[in-house]
Structure formats: C-alpha cells, structure tokens
C-alpha cells in the first residue's frame, strides 16, 4: 500500500509538472525571444528553439538607453494602477462591509444591482461610460481612466462575502466602549479583513495593469499612454520595433510578480475564505 501511494504521488507530481510547463511555455518563449536580435524575430517570430550564439542583452540595452517613451508608458501604468488599487480597495471594501453587516432598507436591492453589473460585459457599458467621461470633461486624463474602475462590483461582492464571516460580537463590544462606526471598521474589522485586501490587491492590480480597451478609448496623448497601448503602437504597417516590444513585454511582468510576492502570504487564504463564508 505504501509503495502504491508513493507511486501515485510521483505520477501526480510528474503530471502537474507537465501541466505547469505547458502553462509557462508562452512565457518561457517570450523571455527567450527577448534576448534575440530584432532581425531574427522578424524572420522567425517567437519560437522556443534556442540558438545561443544569437542571444544578447541588446534589446534590454535599447530599452534603457534609447526608449524614453517606453518609461513614460511604464510610469503612467504604475501611477494609474497604484491609485486604482488603493481607491478600489478602500471604497469596494467599505461597500461590501456595509452590505454584509448592516441591516438597512434596500440592502438586498443594492446587492442585486451589484450582481447584475457583474453579469453585464464591460463592452456593453463602454459607450455610456465614454459619454459620461465626455460630459465630465475627463477625456485624456488619468481620472477618466481610473474612475470607472474605482468601485469594482467583483471586489464589492468578494468583500461582502468575506465580511459576512466576521464576528459581529466585536462590533457590539466596540459600540459599548463608545467606538464610532468608522472606528469599528478601520480599527477592528479592516485588520481582520487583511487576507481579502491582499487577494483583491493582486486581482485588481492585474486587471488595471493589463487594461487595454478602456484606456485606449479615453487616452489621446502619446505621453499619457499606458504600457499595453504603448506597446501596441510599436506594431504598425510601416515597421515593427521588436527591440522594444519583446523586451518591454517581459519588463511589464515584473510589477505583477513583485505585487504577488508581497501579498502571497494572504492570497490563498483570502480567496478561500471569501469564497466559502456567508
């Protein structure tokens, strides 16, 4: 029986290693291609075959020395994603918390509206949102890009499900001690929701960092482009700047990896708790 269990364990490990390799294959191909000369990329495209004599750091040197626009795009994405994460966590968590712990008239209707918005594709909402940005004179601004993403219905739903599992006895005890409702949230409940904050920080950061369609509609100036839009402009009918495109695409992965490293301790706990409580 022990030999059978060990054999089964080895088979499962090999199976998951193969699955992981298949999942990572596009990323590995991209990283290898980022060290190839642009002429080779033009001829053969992104492939997994390795010719060690052709690999060099020239593409990355080109990014750091001859691509100032790339770093403008990088900075724009960092600013937009950073502010969006902070504001989204702040507002979405408070709304989800209120829907979970307070009993007020219309609570279920509001939660139903959140669920309906989740089910509506963003492409359906783009036109009215775009008209709203025009009315508010927010076209070609950071605010116009961030405003529709600040209160994410998915994040509200997630925080609501997580907050429903929090002990309400702590709230009653805090009220007896004279603590305000805002004090209860920020001093007692928010620290208990730390795993949910970490999980949503990663998911919201990933969504904002990779967002392409909405910034493409709102932004007009080249100096305000985010990374996805900026990298897309490198592919034109008149020439393809693979020196910046491939190496730049690899560099875009770094912030998400760093974000996950910082919050990985609570990531799985936040997802599982938010999914089963309530």
DSSP-H helix ranges across 67-193: 68-101, 107-119, 122-135, 142-146, 153-163, 169-176, 181-183, 190-192
| Number of compact structural domains in the chain | 2
- Predicted confidence at residue 233, as pLDDT, reads 84
Tell me: do 72 and 54 sit in the same domain: no
Over range 245-259, report the average pLDDT.
Answer: 85
Q: Which residue has the higher pLDDT, 119 or 242?
A: 119
Domain that holds residue 241: 67-276
Tell me: do 99 and 134 sit in the same domain: yes
Residue 47 sits at φ, ψ, to 5 deg, of: -130, 165
The residue from 17, 47, 64 where one domain ends is 64
Tell me: do 81 and 168 sit in the same domain: yes
The residue from 14, 42, 64 where one domain ends is 64
List of residues 6+ apart from 219 with CB closer than 8 A: 140, 145, 225, 226, 229
Tell me: do 142 and 100 sit in the same domain: yes
Tell me: do 106 and 215 sit in the same domain: yes
Query: What value does the mean pLDDT of the chain take?
Result: 84
- Predicted confidence at residue 36, as pLDDT, reads 82
- Predicted confidence at residue 19, as pLDDT, reads 92
What's the burial of 139, exposed, middle or buried (CB within 10 Å: 0-12/13-18/19+)? middle
Least confident of 48-62, 65-79, 91-105: 48-62
The CATH number given to whatever domain includes residue 177 is 1.10.3720.10
Q: Which tokens sit at 250?
A: 């690899």
Three-state secondary structure call for residue 235:
strand
- Predicted confidence at residue 268, as pLDDT, reads 59
How much is the pTM? 0.82
pLDDT tens digits, 162-189 = 888 888 888 888 888 888 888 888 888 8
- Predicted confidence at residue 171, as pLDDT, reads 87
Tell me: do 240 and 140 sit in the same domain: yes
Least confident of 1-10, 72-81, 198-207: 1-10
Tell me: do 119 and 157 sit in the same domain: yes
pLDDT tens digits, 200-238 = 888 888 899 999 999 999 998 888 999 999 888 887 666
Tell me: do 137 and 191 sit in the same domain: yes
Question: 96 to each of 80, 190, 262, how far by Cα in Å?
Answer: 23, 12, 24
Tell me: do 140 and 157 sit in the same domain: yes
88 pLDDT more than 90 = yes
User: What secondary structure letter does DSSP report for 239?
Assistant: E
Over range 109-133, report the average pLDDT.
Answer: 90
């Amino acid at each position: 029986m022990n030999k059978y269990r060990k054999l089964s364990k080895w088979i499962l490990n090999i199976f998951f290693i193969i699955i992981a390799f298949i999942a990572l294959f596009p990323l590995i191909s991209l990283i290898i291609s980022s060290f190839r000369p642009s002429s080779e990329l033009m001829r053969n495209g992104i492939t997994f075959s390795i010719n060690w004599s052709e690999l060099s750091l020239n593409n990355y040197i080109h990014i750091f020395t001859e691509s100032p626009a790339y770093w403008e795009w990088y900075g724009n994405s960092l600013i937009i994603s950073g502010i969006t994460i902070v504001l989204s966590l702040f507002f979405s968590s408070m709304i989800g918390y209120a829907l979970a712990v307070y009993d007020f008239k219309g609570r279920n209707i509001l939660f139903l509206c959140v669920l309906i918005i989740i089910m509506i594709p963003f492409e359906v909402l783009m036109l009215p949102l775009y008209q709203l940005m025009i009315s508010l004179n927010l076209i070609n601004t950071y605010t116009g890009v961030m405003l529709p993403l600040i209160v994410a219905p998915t994040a509200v739903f997630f925080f609501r499900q997580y907050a429903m599992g929090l002990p309400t006895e702590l709230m009653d005890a805090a009220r007896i001690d004279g603590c305000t409702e805002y004090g209860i949230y920020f001093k007692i409940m928010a620290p208990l929701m730390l795993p949910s904050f970490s999980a949503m920080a990663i998911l919201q950061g990933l969504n904002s960092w990779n967002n392409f369609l909405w910034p493409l509609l709102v932004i007009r100036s080249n100096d305000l482009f985010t990374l996805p839009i900026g990298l897309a402009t490198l592919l034109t009918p008149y020439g393809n700047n693979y020196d910046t495109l491939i190496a730049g695409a690899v560099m875009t992965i770094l912030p998400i990896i760093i974000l996950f490293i910082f919050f990985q301790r609570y990531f799985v706990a936040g997802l599982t708790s938010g999914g089963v409580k309530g």
